[in-house]
Structure 1
Amino acid sequence: MSPSPSPTASGPLSIRPVTSAADAARFVDLVWSLYADDPHWVPPLKTEVHALIGGIKTNPWFGHAQAQFWLAMRGDTVVGRISAQVDSLVLTHMGAGTGHWGMFECIDDQAVADLLLTTAEDWLRARGITRAQGPFSLSVWDEPGLLVQGFEGAPTVMMGHHRNWYERLVTAHGYAGIKDLHCWSLPIDKPFPEMVQRIVAFSERNPKLVTRPVDKSRFDAEAALILDILNDAWSDNWGFVPLTPAEIAHVGKKLKPIVFENLIRIAELEGEPVGFLIALPDINEMTRDLNGRLFPFGWAKLLWRLRHPRVRRIRVPLMGIRKKLQGQRISSLMAFQMIEYIRRSCVEEFGAIEGEIGWILDDNGPMRSIADAIDSHVTRTYRIFERPLVPSQD
């Protein structure tokens, strides 16, 4: 058994819904005790987590979904947390009867994990859900999956990190893995293999193909364009749920401070925008010492660091090419051209030496082929689990 959040935690085990600001604070703060001895954990920004779970006023996801949050208590000490959510877009795109749980954190105690998961399942079952999947914290666009491989390193920006006993607790409750999401890493301070360089050179001789940097002075329009391509490009992927206009605007506002023009490319074919690639500096390197607090001085520190960021790692969270071009030769040309141009900017402007691509679905053949071509390798794996929910006998 691993240490509990408090060596003095004792008393009966119970669970309570999050119903107040004080409950929400305890829900968010739990991870500081759970990961106190984990050298690879990066404290999340508390304002971001509170906004994620705060309802429609701070997260437009609640415009098409509902969620409930719980705390597991051992006496007066919080020893676990979980969410359960039903999303109308998930029901449409992932199948009727599909519900999710997430935000799962727990001491190494099967009884606590069982109580959390059973509570979430009961809530889902009461809303007609017949299969529970998780973790989604809160959606596929936030932090999906449970880390099952790659515990020895720190996560990059917007990726999760978990204790190594979570998989055991979840599978012991009856869950089986249904989908793996991989992060691929590679050195970027040296040129790509010669084959990739030849492809890029060939693409540059095609006058119909142009990959341009994003224009931050037209940020709202550029963000809407990119996310429109994304909704089209990813529509056949497992787990895909389209972003709504309100979510697109929200994501754009959230990402704007960490958007750098030469790290986002839009591919145009005969003047039509048909693809994009987004790369982000690993902001975790800049926020780790803030210990989750932007105030009173953390925000000023972060803004200063973002003026001319120098980071070791760059993450590519999203790339997409419109469906009508997928599988065609031109799509490979634009993909490698965007990747190479961004690689150069990462090294020259940000001093980065390592890149991470991900996540990539385990069955996404085209993206895995690109990752293989640039000599990257899987360093972290996140797993989605599923369990059928038997209807209540009550």
Structure 2
Amino acid sequence: MQLIEVNDKSTRKQFHTFPYSIYKNDKNWAAPLQGMVEAIFDPEKNKTFRNGKAIRWILQDDNRQTVGRIAAFINFNLAKTYNQPTGCCGFFECIDNQEAANTLFEAAVKWNKENGMEAMDGPMNFGENFVNHGLLVDGFMPQGYGMPYNPKYYEKLYRNFGFEVYFEQYCFHLDYTVPFPERFWKIAGWIAKKPQFKFKHFDFNETDKFVKDFCEVYDGAWSSHEHYKPLDPEDLLDFITESKAILDPEMIWFAYDNEKPIAMFVMLPDINQILRKLNGKLNFWGILKFLYYKKTKTMTRTRIILMGVDAKYQRSGIESGIFWHQNKLMQKKPQYTEVELSWAGDFNPKVIALYEATGAKKAKTHYTMRFMFDRTKKVTKAPIIGMD
């Protein structure tokens, strides 16, 4: 087998096309837009390169057929927040062959070691963690936008190499045609009508204000958490600009105590329901198809990618107030019948309790795995965020 660094047009093409051979008979998989994946590895487009670095490879067999791929990367700001400097790997795809998988993992470990790391997490994204993050181990269903998807045998390849579970992430699914529990709506309506609380959905005409409010809520919600790093407002502005075609302002909400931003809620339409029809390419015809399917209400699912509440208000029920206002607008969008509530870590019982209170059911489990370079050390699971 031959490991080849991705550094030219030919190897980049193979990096993007190889997954099609893995998922050719899997109708649950949605080919990601190749341009969006490529942008992750472009220092001019991905600001994580400001204090990070990345590399990727493809693996070919003796007949020069591609049998795997992987990327390794380090966000030096994040790496220093763990007990040991910790790098990452991701974008792993491989045939069901342990030797091939080991070759890919070993390359990522070696590169991370050479760059001062003592452990490696995966599968991860080189950037924000609400996309391309986690190994699917339970709930093999049609892939939602931004949600990682992989064959069942990948867990075996990771574990046999020596990866251990660092934390679990759960996704809950909500049938929007079924009413929320009465008790939830009673609390939500009471909170939503309190005079000191105000609720506003996003407006592109006030982008700068909402970006500022987003960063303030983010800081209030997560600054005390392990591995916290402040948001860069420019990164958020870039995300909004790049995602304008898929963002629905009426699916992004903020809550205020008088004028102070205290909570936020971000939901996206599941554009994977369209991307499955585009085969990973957004050329001229692909754009026309995208706009057509969007207009004809092909999307019936949404995904909540983020919900944050200032720590001082986390026992106030303010989240339910956001749901109350959101539901009033969703009634005008009857094409949406399912909501995916994602990224509830096993370390975050507050979020799990909130999702369960809506009547949502646990549908998927992803693992974030860790490999310790010192093989005498065991992985310590991510600490639980307290309920108080």
**So what's the TM-score if we normalise by structure 1?**
0.90
- Asked if 1:122 is matched to 2:110, the reply is yes
Give the match's secondary structure for 2:44: coil
Q: Per the alignment, do residues 14 and 164 of structure 1 end up closer, same or farther by CA in structure 2, a change over 3 Å counting?
A: same
Paired residues of 2:171 and 2:344 also in contact (CA < 8 A): yes
Q: Is 159-168 or 222-231 further displaced after alignment?
A: 222-231
Provide the residue aligned with 2:47 in structure 1. Answer: 60
Provide the residue aligned with 2:341 in structure 1. Answer: 357
1:251-262 alignment to 2 at 5 Å?
Answer: 251-262=239-250
Report the residue type matching 1:129 in the other structure.
M
Cα distance in 1 between the residues matched to 2:80 and 2:233 = 17
Q: Per the alignment, do residues 271 and 244 of structure 1 end up closer, same or farther by CA in structure 2, a change over 3 Å counting?
A: closer
Q: Per the alignment, do residues 314 and 349 of structure 1 end up closer, same or farther by CA in structure 2, a change over 3 Å counting?
A: same
Q: Is 245-254 or 13-22 further displaced after alignment?
A: 245-254
Provide the residue aligned with 2:20 in structure 1. Answer: 32
Report the residue type matching 1:66 in the other structure.
K
TM-superposed deviation, 1:37: 0.8
Provide the residue aligned with 1:4 in structure 2. Answer: none
Give the match's secondary structure for 2:72: strand
Paired residues of 1:315 and 1:355 also in contact (CA < 8 A): yes
Q: 2:364 aligns with which of 380, 383, 388?
A: 380
Q: Per the alignment, do residues 105 and 240 of structure 1 end up closer, same or farther by CA in structure 2, a change over 3 Å counting?
A: farther
Provide the residue aligned with 1:146 in structure 2. Answer: 135
TM-superposed deviation, 1:240: 4.3
**So what's the TM-score if we normalise by structure 2?**
0.91
1:321-332 alignment to 2 at 5 Å?
Answer: 321-326=309-314, 328-329=315-316, 332=317
Give the match's secondary structure for 1:315: strand
Q: 1:370 aligns with which of 348, 354, 357?
A: 354
- Asked if 1:167 is matched to 2:155, the reply is yes
How far does the alpha carbon of each residue in 1:363-390 deviate from its partner, in whole angstroms, 9 at most, with x for none? 2111111111111111111101112113
Q: Is 239-248 or 256-265 further displaced after alignment?
A: 239-248
Report the residue type matching 1:123 in the other structure.
W
Cα distance in 1 between the residues matched to 2:212 and 2:145 = 22
Report the residue type matching 2:352 in the other structure.
R
Provide the residue aligned with 1:342 in structure 2. Answer: 326
The answer for unaligned runs of 5 or more in structure 1 is 1-12
Q: Percent identity of the aligned residues? A: 25
TM-superposed deviation, 1:228: 3.9
1:58-97 alignment to 2 at 5 Å?
Answer: 58-74=45-61, 75-97=63-85
Give the match's secondary structure for 2:37: helix
TM-superposed deviation, 1:309: 3.8
Paired residues of 2:168 and 2:365 also in contact (CA < 8 A): yes
The answer for unaligned runs of 5 or more in structure 2 is 376-388
Report the residue type matching 1:82 in the other structure.
I
Provide the residue aligned with 2:180 in structure 1. Answer: 192
Paired residues of 1:214 and 1:261 also in contact (CA < 8 A): yes
TM-superposed deviation, 1:21: 2.2
Q: Per the alignment, do residues 121 and 52 of structure 1 end up closer, same or farther by CA in structure 2, a change over 3 Å counting?
A: same
How far does the alpha carbon of each residue in 1:133-192 deviate from its partner, in whole angstroms, 9 at most, with x for none? 1110224243211111111x1121111110111000010001111100111001112321
Report the residue type matching 1:379 in the other structure.
A
1:165-314 alignment to 2 at 5 Å?
Answer: 165-237=153-225, 240-307=228-295, 309-314=297-302
Provide the residue aligned with 1:17 in structure 2. Answer: 5
Give the match's secondary structure for 1:289: coil
Paired residues of 2:81 and 2:226 also in contact (CA < 8 A): no
Q: Per the alignment, do residues 267 and 368 of structure 1 end up closer, same or farther by CA in structure 2, a change over 3 Å counting?
A: same
Q: Per the alignment, do residues 204 and 90 of structure 1 end up closer, same or farther by CA in structure 2, a change over 3 Å counting?
A: closer
